[in-house]
Amino acid sequence: MRAGKHVWTTAAVTVVCAITVLAAPGTAFADPGPSPSPGTPGASPSAPAASPAATPGKDLEAVRKKLDQLYRQAALATEEYNAAEEKTDQQSAQLVELAKKIVKGQEKLDGLKERAGAAARSQYRTGGLPDEAKLMLSDDPEDFLDGTGRVVQGQRATKGLIGEMTRTQEDLKTYAADAKTRFEKLEANRKAKAAAQKKVEKQIKAAEKLESELEQEEKERLARLEREAQERAQTAWLGSGILKDLDGEATEQGRKAVEYATAQVGKPYQWGAEGPKAYDCSGLTSQAWVAAGRTIPRTSQQQWQQLKRVDVEDMRPGDLIIYFDDASHVGMYIGDGSVVHAPRPGRSITIAGAGSMPILGVVRPDTGTTGQE
């Protein structure tokens, strides 16, 4: 690869231009919270799975389960998008830093070339005669010898400059190769994001179509079925005696996070949103903890993987409850057996029973102690 100023400047500008386009703010999609789906006795096993809303006297329990399935699939696709989104954000930032290094490296190389050129011109002006002739023509041999020493020093300095120029050129080559590799990975993740986005939109569109086929009275009955399913699950959870052990007091940061999250109740769910007008489930929990002074991972799966895990019996207000075996949904425990969460598309942020959905586990964003610890 040539190390000339034009080539390197062009490379840097190309990288910067590419990054400007690729790093433009995009929607940061996150895990939509699916409707809870505890089984209900009496559901008809023979109800058509493809379009239960299309038959007379439709089985609304089958419709509820089908909707739950569609939103669960949307949640999984959203996690794929989230993973790609996280990588593209990181890679875009890395490319920006590489572009800065390329520009600075080129500026340094230009300066070194100028210094080397000045040194060469100086040596040329004093180097026209052999040393013996200069000695004979010199009025003061000592001055000549002093001048000779300075020339030797200058030659050594010039050699050092050349060595530094060579190292700088090699650095620029390395930066350019690294930028090319990262750019290719960024492009691959952009494609993965686009594919995941299509999956999410497909599942949500199918769910919305299914709901649109219902009459108003059926929609109301369906909403009741959803609430009843949540209540049954919550009742069973509380029946285990879990609340007797849930006496953990929140930390100051935990209280701030709960205050932020509960203040958003009533705002709409929007997948990929992080406020302030709408949120998805992990957008709500991550922003609540940002408001409390702590940055946590953006997605529910990353929160499950990276944050400290605690037993359900030990959770305290501010802890995050991760739901479903794929960690595709998250809510914030607020005490008294309740959670605040952003459920799914078409729903608003609400307070629900902490046990109204299948719990995978609990994670703790802060490690501060409470008055009881």
pLDDT at 24: 38
pLDDT at 11: 41
pLDDT at 37: 39
pLDDT at 121: 64
pLDDT at 15: 44
pLDDT at 110: 76
pLDDT at 246: 66
pLDDT at 287: 96
Omega into 276 within 30° of 0, i.e. cis? Answer: yes
Catalytic residue among 62, 103, 258, 281: 281
pLDDT at 30: 39
DSSP-assigned beta bridge partners for residue 9: none
**329 catalytically annotated:** yes
Q: Rounded to an integer, what distance in angstroms lies between the CA atom of residue 295 and that of residue 140?
A: 74
pLDDT at 50: 41
pLDDT at 4: 42
**341 catalytically annotated:** yes
Side by side, the strands of the sheet bearing 359-364 are: 308-310, 359-364, 320-323, 329-335, 338-341, 350-353
Cα Rg of the chain, angstroms: 33
Q: Rounded to two decimals, what is the model's pTM?
A: 0.59
pLDDT at 304: 96
Catalytic residue among 64, 341, 344, 364: 341
**281 catalytically annotated:** yes
Q: Rounded to an integer, what distance in angstroms lies between the CA atom of residue 205 and that of residue 212?
A: 10
pLDDT at 158: 58
Catalytic residue among 329, 339, 349, 356: 329
pLDDT at 165: 72
| Amino acid in position 373 | E
Phi/psi zone of residue 339: left (φ > 0), alpha (ψ -120 to 50 degrees), beta?
beta
CA-nearest of 64, 19, 17, 57 to 39 is: 64
Mean pLDDT for each consecutive 10-residue tract of the chain (373 residues)?
40 41 37 39 38 50 80 75 73 74 75 68 55 48 52 56 73 74 74 78 80 82 84 86 72 94 94 90 96 94 95 94 94 94 91 94 86 54
Q: Rounded to an integer, what distance in angstroms lies between the CA atom of residue 191 and that of residue 146?
A: 68
